[in-house]
Amino acid sequence: MTTQRCAVIATKCLFLALVVDSWLFSICSGSLSSPLTSSSSASMTKDVRTSPHLLYILADDFGYYDVSWKNKAAKTPNLDALREQGMDLDRLYAYQFCSPTRCSLLSGRLPIHVNTQNHPASKPGGVDLRMTVIGEKMKAQGYATAVFGKWHGGAHVEGQLPHNRGFDSSLGFLNGNEDHYTHYFGIDSGYDMWANETNMYDNSTYGGTLYRQQAVNTILNFNASAHAGLFLYLAFQNTHAPYQVPVQYEDPKISAKGSKRTFYGMATFLDETIGNVTQALHDKGLWDDTLIVFSADNGGEISGPGGCR
């Protein structure tokens, strides 16, 4: 039995609810032996996991033109590598802004059936508590579950928070955007960076760095003997405004006009992090049994420097 890696790159928009829901149905009904496996009675040389590890990477306001196979200004060698080894789905569509797309992914429902508003945590919104979300489904099947980065799936009541929605561990922010360093959210005038239920208001580390560290540590510390598999939902704030990135990721050859240099630096940071995470999968021995999906929540910011929807 041979194992085949699979990476799905949805460069247009989000790999939306119907496909995600089909994974959940297959996993939760026990009918998914592995989407990464091709079997032959003559080649059953090793055991293969009955449940694949799932890594879903969601970029924020990342455009169709912000990858290097479409735009030479974008430096995304790690995404290029995933694309070469997997599938590039470039005719997929998502909602026009953040929260409905994320709620669709979490719940397996189209936005019109779960949430079409982009509300902050101070207002009702997100996934209704009467709906089951992907973290709960995966946890029920014995998966270790984690979410790092942007939530925006509802936080008006405590029951909507990630650690109450089936995720064993979570680190990130609950609203739609914030300063990448101070983690201050201006709409609700407060600091929005949480490790499970603990506010990390005194942490001034670049958000993407925090999510990268958590993702890599979660993979390297994964206990395969205690869980059916690993489900990691990695939801970056990159490349959402405000346009901020450590200066070493900026390419001086790109014009600084309109924050374009910074934007592409944010894309470079995002791609490097994907390389760090995939390397951790190799180092832990999980690579051959992991299904990876990368997509954006709604395409590029229409008024920003990186492209348009």
Name the catalytic one among 98, 103, 180, 240.
Answer: 98
- C-alpha 179/C-alpha 241 separation (Å) is 8
State the amino acid at position 256 in one-letter form. Answer: A
The model carries a pTM of 0.87
| Structure token digits, residue 113 | 């059936």
Q: CB of 121 within 8 A of CB of 12?
A: no
Catalytic-residue membership of 152: yes
Other Cβ atoms less than 10 A from the Cβ of 299: the count is 25
Considering the candidates 53, 152, 180, 227, report the single residue annotated as catalytic: 152
2-33+49-296: CATH number: 3.40.720.10
CA atoms of 17 and 236, how far apart (whole Å): 19
**Segments making up each domain of the chain, as ranges:** 2-33+49-296
- Catalytic site includes residue 282: no
Q: How far is CA 53 from CA 14, 110, 254, 294, in A?
A: 20, 24, 38, 14
Please give the full DSSP string across 218-234, using - where no structure is assigned: HHHT--TTT-SEEEEEE
**pLDDT score at 7:** 64
pLDDT in tens, the chain (309 residues): 334 445 666 544 433 334 444 555 455 555 444 433 333 333 333 445 568 999 999 999 998 889 999 998 899 999 999 999 999 987 877 888 899 999 999 999 999 999 999 999 999 999 999 999 999 999 999 999 999 999 999 999 999 999 999 999 999 999 999 999 999 999 999 999 999 999 887 778 999 999 999 999 999 999 999 999 999 999 999 999 999 999 999 999 999 888 999 999 999 999 999 999 999 999 999 999 999 999 999 888 776 654 433
Buried b (16+ CB within 10 A) or exposed e, 168-178: bbbbbbbbbbb
* pLDDT of amino acid 94: 81
Handedness of CA 297, 301, 302, 308 (dihedral sign): negative
